Amino acid sequence: MQVLADYLNEIDVHADSVYVMHEKVERKFSMHSHEKGQLTYVEGGIAYCNMPDRSYVIPARHYIWIPKYQEHYMQIKHSKSTTTRNLYFYSQHDHETPFYTRLGIYPVNELLLEMINYSARWQRHILPGDPGFRFLSAIKDILPDISTTALPVILPTTQHERLQPVLQYIGQNFDQQLTLEIVSHQFDLSPRTLSRLFTNILDMSFVQYLQMVRVVKGIEMILQTNQTLSEIAYQTGYSSIAAFSKVFYQLTNKRPSSFQQAVH
């Protein structure tokens, strides 16, 4: 634990540096924040960035930008080989550019991928004047221009004692024929009460939450299995690939076939 604490403390020691960390350490931190803005790129597999009230899904070939002071912790699902490349940037002037003040998940194009991979030659603090500082700064500088469409795959979470077990149940049975009536009966609630819990606590409907869970599970299957999209559609609770594709597009602005091609 002391080693992890040392890493966390070191990141913010030099406010004007770029801190480079390619070890599998960020995923071991508990909930924390930095005084620097953070770029984390997911290399293979799938990662989750957990906030106090929601979880962001980060697929392969995507990165997440985490603004300074945002509490979070990273979680890698089902893949020991998944690597996260982490760059922590000086943040003195972030307020002048709205991009740096907003959390977002974005696809990585070939230019940014090459630059992130090239950054692996450095470790820890790179200060102004050090070899590599201008290159690393260029990565930060191009992000607002090349990252214009965020991937809106967000799963809200809650500690609410009545709603939390419902979310767990949905997460375990997303492939079943779930309706508001079926789930509310399972927990001895009226459909109206359960509907209000979703709206008041998560700010979304039961159906919206179920769709989000199914799309997240679909993304996991696309990344981690060789199943066809038809198989994935049925295994996420849809009766046809057309129904799955429609919901997938509504939530991600991408067809599952296009997404599959982009990440493989």
CATH of the domain at 65: 2.60.120
Task: Answer yes or no: is 152 within a domain.
Answer: no
Residues 167 and 114 in one domain: no
pLDDT of 91 higher than 60: yes
Q: Which of 64-73, 98-107, 248-257 is predicted least confidently?
A: 248-257
Residues 137 and 9 in one domain: yes
- The predicted model gives 162-170 an average pLDDT of 91
Residues 172 and 86 in one domain: no
Confidence of residue 48 (pLDDT cuts 50, 70, 90): confident
The C-alpha torsion from 100 through 133 and 72 to 45, rounded to 10°, is 100
Task: Answer yes or no: is 132 within a domain.
Answer: yes
Task: Answer yes or no: is 151 within a domain.
Answer: no
Residue 67: per-residue pLDDT: 95
Tell me what the pLDDT averaged over the chain comes to.
87
Residue 264: per-residue pLDDT: 61
Task: Answer yes or no: is 237 within a domain.
Answer: yes
**Cα three-residue angle 208-108-222, rounded to 5 degrees:** 50
Residues 186 and 55 in one domain: no
- The predicted model gives 219-229 an average pLDDT of 82
Residue 78: per-residue pLDDT: 55
Task: Answer yes or no: is 30 within a domain.
Answer: yes
Confidence of residue 198 (pLDDT cuts 50, 70, 90): very high
Residues 205 and 128 in one domain: no
Residues 118 and 174 in one domain: no
Residues 87 and 202 in one domain: no
Residue 31: per-residue pLDDT: 85
CB-side neighbour CA atoms (13 Å) of 17: 17
Q: Which of 85, 116, 146 is the last residue of a domain?
A: 146
Rounded to 10°, the helix 256-263/241-252 angle is 70
| Matching residue, tokens 């924040």 | 33
Whole-model pTM above 0.85?
Answer: no
Task: Answer yes or no: is 133 within a domain.
Answer: yes
pLDDT in tens, 6-41: 777 888 899 999 999 886 655 667 888 999 999 999
Q: Which of 108, 124, 146 is the last residue of a domain?
A: 146
User: How many domains does the chain contain in total?
Assistant: 2
Residues 119 and 215 in one domain: no
Which uninterrupted H or E stretch holds 110? Answer: helix 110-118
Residues 83 and 213 in one domain: no
Residue ranges making up the domain that contains 246: 159-263
Q: Which of 40-44, 94-98, 112-116 is predicted least confidently?
A: 40-44
pLDDT of 154 higher than 60: yes
pLDDT of 60 higher than 80: no
Residues 29 and 67 in one domain: yes
Residue 25: per-residue pLDDT: 59
Task: Answer yes or no: is 172 within a domain.
Answer: yes
User: For residue 249, what is the domain's CATH number?
Assistant: 1.10.10.60
Residues 193 and 216 in one domain: yes
Residues 192 and 247 in one domain: yes
Residue 153: per-residue pLDDT: 79
Residue 224: per-residue pLDDT: 74
- The predicted model gives 196-224 an average pLDDT of 89
Residue 135: per-residue pLDDT: 96
Q: Which of 146, 180, 200 is the last residue of a domain?
A: 146
Q: How far apart are CA 212 and CA 206, in angstroms?
A: 10
Token pair in block for residue 169: 């149940």
Report the percentage of the chain scoring pLDDT > 70.
92
